[in-house]
Amino acid sequence: MILSIYNFTSLTDKFHNFLSTHLSDGIVLTTELIVAGLLVITFVAVLAMVLIYLERKVAAYMQLRLGPNRVGIYGTGQVVADVLKLVLKEGITPDGADKLMFNLAPYVVLSTCMMALAPIAFGNGLVLWDLNIGVLYITSITSLGVIGILIAGWSSNNKYSMLGAMRSGAQIVSYELSAGLCIISIVVLSGSMQISEIVNSQTDGWWIFKGHIPVIIAFVIFIIAATAELNRAPFDLAEAESELTAGFHTEYSGMKFAMFFLAEYINMFVLCAMAATLFLGGWMPLHIGHWTAFNNVMDYIPSPLWFFGKTFFIIFIIMWFRWTFPRLRVDQLLDLEWKYLLPISMVNLLAIALMNILGWHF
Amino acid sequence: MTAYQIWFYIIASMILGGALLAVTARKIFRAAIALLVSLIGIAALYYWMHYEFIAAVQTIVYVGGIVVLIIFSIFLTHNPGHTIEEPVSIREAFAFTGCFAGFAFVFSLLNRYSFEQTGDGLNHTMQVADVGRALLSTGSGSYLLPFEAVSLLLLAAMVGCIVIAIKIRTK
Amino acid sequence: MTLGNYFENIYKGLKSLAAGMRLTGLYFVRRGDSLTQEYPNNRGTLKLAERFRGEVVMPHNESNEHRCTGCTACELACPNGSIKILTKFIINEEGKKKKAIDTFVYHLDTCTMCNLCIISCPSDAIIMANNFEHSVFDRTKLLKVLNKPESKIMAGVE
């Protein structure tokens, strides 16, 4: 199989074996944890810069503007300049705030979203922790992010922050349901929660092509629910500028604000990577049934390229949403979830289970 | 002491420290966050023991569900920034006695029970499919009856919610 | 709400969302109609609308003649006193004493570009120019004299 050309398992195995020959078991684990942590932090910093640049360019192009174009080639240096500005800014803690909680909140938000990166397969064998409940783990970790937002909102001692945090919490908790049901529908089809098995189940075609209309419906609902979970426009009631100044991070400045910003973009990446893995085959190249020649040609494109291509495609769609649609009202937001997305995804899950039992998918 | 043991003690101190802070914190919101730390520690302990499924469920249900619910109710009912005054010392004494009695009871039970090693330590993996099969089968070591009983309980809770929330049209 | 209505709502909602996304998608792809002017770079080709109000100027013709009679209508019309006209009496060819402007003082720093002076001028002596790059290091440079030295009133303007 040509897939093995770009298999990263040997690389990670070599590193593991090298450590194992010199150190004891537990210390190997600890060392690997530290290395993985450093890699994740680097990855997160680079990724957030790329995403922020992309977001500004996409926004500009959709609004008939040019976007950042002064610092560096095509404005690429703008992000670096912004980061430098945020690092140098003073981090102000308001007088009436609960100091400990106020300073803790950004770390909670950022660390939870970095934890969610662990089981994501970036390429063939390029995964930090391929645990057997991968998708459930990601769901559980993303539900932790709410806590950080609630801490931030409460400890700022500001009614806008508080209202923003409450709205954000309610929104994330309710949209998690339909996102979860869409995830389960793919778990039903692939028969596993392990990310590597979900990817392997798409060797002969991605689920969005194999699964007929129900999977397409699940994909659309997942994208909508993911946008809502991210608190991005059109679901940005939690930080509605015109009503709440900036929502839960109103009082934050400098690096602490940057951490919230970073967390927002990493969360976006995690959810889009989830969508890409579940519905578009993760790092799996485009395979069509038994066309071996075609499949072999596709295998020559390295698997991380496939993964990042798909993920950035979905990120682009979510950005497209943001710069097209106006903000929802609270009642419309709740209507959409409880009257439309949740019932539809429930019926859809039943349809997918039926399809799976009768073997109607390819 | 191996690195695994060090990890265990770090996690255990996180659980115990969180629990201690939860009962001693003078601000109700901080107590809720300390409880959260303790519950995350328990999830971490499950991950440490390679029971990933239980750990993830612990995170979703207790941390993502119950603590969020507690925080929301604190937001809505109490004045969360309010510092609670020190309790009366006689009450504190009673609470200590009660806690000590409970601890002594549990400790004596644990001391008498001899734990047998059933698996081969750290090198086992827990498949989710096995959990699912055990939950929905009827043989020995399976949980169909409790599963159905729980679903009945949840149904009753749902009906109760609807009864509370329903608008009765009066003429 | 009937079941038919429910599905109709979904269909209509999706259709309107698709319409919006189609438009922004088109904007994203078509790069030609970007509205942004890359200002300091396109200084040479910058085209401003004719109605743009940058500053008040007094046009002079080739023989250094303007159309201002010194009637001070603009000075009276100016809401914040940005115009000050100093007049003098000159003797024309017929030997008559006649009023004419000595200096037309214009305070650019207090001008709000309201255009009232241009409207009130009976002889169309002053107009609004397009120039908008007014920044200077010294405030006194914003105090301008609009009539050029040695300039005279155009023949036939009363």
Q: Model confidence over A73-117: pLDDT tens digits?
A: 888 888 888 888 888 888 788 887 778 888 888 888 888 888 888
- The predicted pLDDT at position A259 comes to 87
Contact residues on chain B for A100, CB-CB shorter than 8 A: 30
User: Within this chain, do residues B93 and B37 fall inside the same structural domain, yes or no?
Assistant: yes
Do chains B and C meet with 3 or more Cβ pairs nearer than 8 Å? no
User: Within this chain, do residues B75 and B7 fall inside the same structural domain, yes or no?
Assistant: yes
Sign of the four-CA dihedral A103, A106, A107, A108: positive
User: Within this chain, do residues B116 and B162 fall inside the same structural domain, yes or no?
Assistant: no
The answer to whether residues A321 and A231 touch, using CB atoms and an 8 Å cutoff, is no
Contact residues on chain A for B56, CB-CB shorter than 8 A: 133, 136-137, 139-140
When scoring A31, A193, A201 by the number of chain B Cβ atoms within 10 A, the one with the most, hence best to mutate, is A193
Structurally, chain B folds into a number of domains equal to 2
User: Within this chain, do residues B120 and B139 fall inside the same structural domain, yes or no?
Assistant: no
What the block records as the tokens of B122 is 């750290």
User: Within this chain, do residues B109 and B134 fall inside the same structural domain, yes or no?
Assistant: no
- Asked if the bond preceding C40 is cis, omega within 30° of 0, the reply is no
Confidence of residue B80 (pLDDT cuts 50, 70, 90): low
User: Within this chain, do residues B68 and B131 fall inside the same structural domain, yes or no?
Assistant: no
User: Within this chain, do residues B132 and B107 fall inside the same structural domain, yes or no?
Assistant: no
User: Within this chain, do residues B102 and B137 fall inside the same structural domain, yes or no?
Assistant: no
CATH architecture of C55-153: 2-Layer Sandwich (3.30)
HSE toward the beta carbon, residue A257, CA cutoff 13 A: 19
Confidence of residue B164 (pLDDT cuts 50, 70, 90): confident
Domain borders along chain C are 3-35, 55-153
When scoring B29, B50, B61 by the number of chain A Cβ atoms within 10 A, the one with the most, hence best to mutate, is B29
Longest dimension (CA), chain B: 75
Interface of A with B in 72-111 (CB under 8 A): 98, 100-101
User: Within this chain, do residues B74 and B145 fall inside the same structural domain, yes or no?
Assistant: no
How many A×B Cβ pairs under 8 Å?
Answer: 93
C98 φ, ψ to 5°? -140, 145
Question: C43-87: per-residue pLDDT in tens?
Answer: 878 878 888 888 888 888 888 888 888 888 888 988 988 888 888
Residue contact A100–B56, C-beta within 8 A:
no
When scoring B61, B128, B161 by the number of chain A Cβ atoms within 10 A, the one with the most, hence best to mutate, is B128
- The predicted pLDDT at position B17 comes to 93
Residue contact A141–B59, C-beta within 8 A:
yes
What the block records as the tokens of A360 is 């109607």
- The predicted pLDDT at position A2 comes to 45
Q: Which residue has the tokens 């940058």?
A: C54
Task: For chain C, give the mean pLDDT.
Answer: 84
Residue contact A169–B127, C-beta within 8 A:
no
Share of chain A above pLDDT 70, in %: 97
Encoded amino acid at A107, one letter? Y
CATH of the domain at B119: 1.20.120.1200
Share of chain A above pLDDT 90, in %: 2
pLDDT tops 80 at residue B152: yes
Contact residues on chain B for A353, CB-CB shorter than 8 A: none
Q: Is A340 exposed, middle or buried (0-12, 13-18, 19+ CB in 10 A)?
A: middle
Helix ranges restricted to H, A70-158: 77-88, 99-115, 134-155
User: Within this chain, do residues B92 and B171 fall inside the same structural domain, yes or no?
Assistant: no
Task: For chain A, give the mean pLDDT.
Answer: 83
Question: A217-270: per-residue pLDDT in tens?
Answer: 889 899 989 888 888 878 887 777 777 777 778 888 888 888 888 888 888 899
Question: A78-88: per-residue pLDDT in tens?
Answer: 888 888 888 88
**Length of chain A counted residue by residue:** 362
Confidence of residue B124 (pLDDT cuts 50, 70, 90): low
Chain A nearest C-alpha distance from C47 (Å): 18
Question: C87-114: per-residue pLDDT in tens?
Answer: 888 777 777 777 788 888 898 888 888 8
Cβ contacts of residue B37 below 8 Å, gap of 6+?
B14, B17, B18, B21
Chain C nearest C-alpha distance from A210 (Å): 23
ipTM: 0.79
Q: What is the C-alpha separation between B57 and A139, in angstroms, rounded?
A: 10
User: Average pLDDT in the A52-57 region?
Assistant: 88
Question: A346-358: per-residue pLDDT in tens?
Answer: 998 998 888 888 8
User: Within this chain, do residues B40 and B78 fall inside the same structural domain, yes or no?
Assistant: yes
What the block records as the tokens of A40 is 């994740």
Domain limits at B41?
A: 3-125
User: Within this chain, do residues B38 and B102 fall inside the same structural domain, yes or no?
Assistant: yes
Across the beta sheet with C83-91, the strand order is: C83-91, C97-107, C143-145
